[in-house]
Structure 1
Amino acid sequence: MKNIIYKIMLSIVLVLAIGCKEKPTNEVEGTHKTKNENIVELTEAQLAQTEISIGKVKKRKIGHEITVNGVIDVPPQNNISVTVPYGGFLKQTTMLSGTRLKKGQIIASVENPEFIEFQRAYLEALANNEYLKADFERQETLNKEEVTSTKVFQKAKSSYLTNKANIQALESKLRLIGINPLSVKNGKIASVINVYSPINGIVREVYINRGKYFNPQDVLMDITNASDLHVELKVYENDIHLIRVGQRIRFRLANAPDTWMEAKVFLIGNNVRNDRSITIHGHLKEENEALLPGMFINANIEVEAVEQYAIPEEAIVRFEGKHYIFTSLGKRKEGVQMMHDYEMLEIIKGNEEENFVAFTFEDPSQNVSKMDVVLKDAFTLLAKAKNSEEEGHGH
């Protein structure tokens, strides 16, 4: 009985073995033996409808960057607060925030009765000068001849020199408020003076309106010389040791995130604030009229540059929180059709620069130098791969 059971079992094993060996295959030359959800295939016709571009990945110098925030600023000497000595009433101004100015341009007219008093005192001092000078010279001659006392001579001399100093002081006052002493000498008395722009620049803010009285210490407006704008960045303590003069800064405005501009580190602060940060200043590579002092910016400071494999940003796709690229597996014939195969490989993104991204493979055994990579229109392949999954295909 045992022998019979043994023979039956042996027969079954042999039948199964022969069946497996002789089982016909449905695979044809050039098809995949196993299903792989990361493999995408396109026909010649499908490929012709895309903008897919294949190429080798090259090494580029990609800098390691620190991301920081800051503002557009100007050196203190390029910020001018316009004031008028002795104050007055603002008679006229056409200035608005953002108005561009040239040096010497009239920016306001100011009226003050005190200006008339200065001119009157100046003319009076000029009138006295001729008499006091003549009296001084006469007393000097008489004193030499011992006709008058030294005391009388010294008094005449003192009166003359005091009046002369008064004339010089009044001339300085007149020039300070913008009145030419020569015009006053010629009889032109002005109660209104013009205020001129001391620099080429931009009006940042106007603080006073027409007809309002202001004191000497009051600021009429702020003007900025925008020809020497720079970026002012805040770098925190952990990254301070990486900063060097001459390093490249890439920055963009908060309201224009796609437009990058460049600057270069020229000054590193040496005072650590309470929030454990220091200030970094960078010179602009190129002037840009769209930049204004006080604008908020996002910036990257390139602290080192390393040669790495880098790929165009558009060659990278994102799916379920991970990043991928596609490599070309070549083409094959399937029936009468020519098929093009691509494999989706997971990568780890590195630093970005000028629309190129440094990367490494999630699988360290992958060798990018031996691959042909999809450099353009990778999203088409991602869409094809995920559509195929939803339809139940393996590739």
Structure 2
Amino acid sequence: MKKSIIFLSLATSILLFSCKKDETENKEEKVTTEANAKEETNTNVKEVELNEAQYSASKIQLGQILQKNLSDVVRINGTTELPAQSQADVSSFLSGTITNINVNLGDYVKKGQTIATIDSPEYIQLQEEYIISKNTLEYLELEFKRQQTLRAENVNSEKTFQKTKSDLNIERARYQSLSNRLSLVNSSPSSISKSLRIVSPISGNIATIPVKIGTNIMAGQSLFTIVDNSQIHLDLLVYEKDMPYIKVGQKVSFTFTNIDKSEVTATIFSINKSFEPGTKTVLVHANIDKVPETLIPGLYVNALVHIGEKTVDALPNEAIVKADGREFIFILEDAHEEEGGKSYHFQRIEAKTGVSELGYTQVTILQQVPKDSQIVLSGAYYIQSHLIKTEGGGGHSH
């Protein structure tokens, strides 16, 4: 009996000790979990303070979340091209010798502007024939009226009248032909000149000048090339699998492959009806909405054709920084005057990113922020570097 009582007491003690141990472990686990959560929060949300000099040096740009169409798009490549009507080879219909060149490479010229002059024996002869024909025509018109009157009075013969009429018609045709030939060289002379003006057929910039003063030229020889880059458009190559999604009127966003990465927009105006030789691509043409002044033909572009209306919240790529395997943005929390100058307080906030195209990335901010928050669009990496230097990357934690 005594042994049973001792055994029962021992079992009760073990049970009580076990319960206390479990309770202690649960409390410790709860404390550890709360500490980890607090540590994670402190890691995600940090504050950084910059003085006025640091802020100016970082070239920070502030703004708000942008709405960008980054989801429903077809990605294609292409080049900038000039339509045929925006290019011109300037030549002369007559041979001669270059006596003056009024333009330099790259100069802008207007349609009808004189860009060179040539001395041309053919031009002198053409003017001579024109003036002779003009005077002969005036004489024959008077002679025809006289013969017509005489014929009505039956004074002259029918043969004489018909001969005068025939001569008049022949001279009219000759005069018209000479007038047209002179109009081709932009001339309607009242007196004979040896110099022929070469004028620009379109407005644009001088692209090539393969001649110089003293060059003997032949009729039809190219003297200048003029291009009107204001009419540049996109030629985009679309693969067969993407063709069902492409339609006239769709908007295109594009950047240049090797130069300025700023985004430009265009609108599709034409789609070819056959494949390009040797490829399974179709050429799609798009008018650039606002042609940059520095744009030239032959530049490679990366383009997105917007095939849907879906828009997402997005920020420039440089607004997003990475740390500890996560992604963050910075928000201006406060800016105020202090004794040593203005002070800027930034808060680092975790964000989830999505699709990234043409320098912008879809973002979802993982905590509530005011709608009018000023987000760092440029200079975020400078702030992140300052954060790393401050207290070993700790900054001032919330």
- Whether TM-score is above 0.5 comes out as yes
Tell whether 2:280 aligns with 1:276: yes
Distance change >3 Å, CA 179–CA 37, structure 1 → 2 = same
Alignment partners' CA distance in 1, 2:347 and 2:235: 50
Deviations, residues 102-130 of structure 1 (Å, cap 9, x unaligned): 23321111221011111222232234335
**Partners of 1:132 and 1:160 within 8 A in 2:** yes
Match of 1:118 among 122, 126, 151: 126
- 2:48 — aligned with what? 47
Match of 1:350 among 355, 358, 364: 355
Match of 1:212 among 200, 210, 215: 215
Displacement over 6 Å in runs of 4+: 11-25, 27-31, 34-39, 340-345, 382-391
- 2:77 — aligned with what? 69
User: Once the 2 structures are TM-superposed, how far is the Cα of residue 135 of structure 1 from its aligned partner?
Assistant: 4.1
Match of 1:300 among 301, 304, 307: 304
User: Whose helix proportion is higher, 1 or 2?
Assistant: 2
User: Once the 2 structures are TM-superposed, how far is the Cα of residue 266 of structure 1 from its aligned partner?
Assistant: 2.1
User: Matches of residues 376-395 of structure 1 in structure 2 within 5 Å?
Assistant: 376=376, 379=381
In structure 1, what residue type is equivalent to 2:48?
L
Tell whether 2:102 aligns with 1:94: yes
Deviations, residues 36-71 of structure 1 (Å, cap 9, x unaligned): 89972788xx633599x9xxx979453333333333
Tell whether 2:112 aligns with 1:104: yes
Tell whether 2:266 aligns with 1:263: yes
User: Matches of residues 165-184 of structure 1 in structure 2 within 5 Å?
Assistant: 165-181=173-189, 183=190
Alignment partners' CA distance in 1, 2:101 and 2:391: 70
TM-score, normalization by structure 1: 0.70
Give SS of 2:234's match. strand
Deviations, residues 125-153 of structure 1 (Å, cap 9, x unaligned): 23433543444344434444444432232
TM-score, normalization by structure 2: 0.69
**Partners of 2:45 and 2:349 within 8 A in 1:** no
**Which structure 2 segments of 5+ residues have no match?**
1-12, 332-345
Identity of aligned residues (%): 26
Give SS of 1:305's match. coil
- 1:331 — aligned with what? none
Give SS of 2:79's match. strand
In structure 2, what residue type is equivalent to 1:305?
E
**Which structure 1 segments of 5+ residues have no match?**
1-10, 329-339, 361-367
Distance change >3 Å, CA 252–CA 128, structure 1 → 2 = same
User: Matches of residues 124-139 of structure 1 in structure 2 within 5 Å?
Assistant: 124-139=132-147
Alignment partners' CA distance in 1, 2:255 and 2:288: 12
Instruction: Provide the aligned length of Structure 1 versus Structure 2.
Output: 353
Alignment partners' CA distance in 2, 1:213 and 1:252: 45
Aligned-pair Cα RMSD in Å: 4.7
- 1:4 — aligned with what? none
User: Once the 2 structures are TM-superposed, how far is the Cα of residue 165 of structure 1 from its aligned partner?
Assistant: 2.2
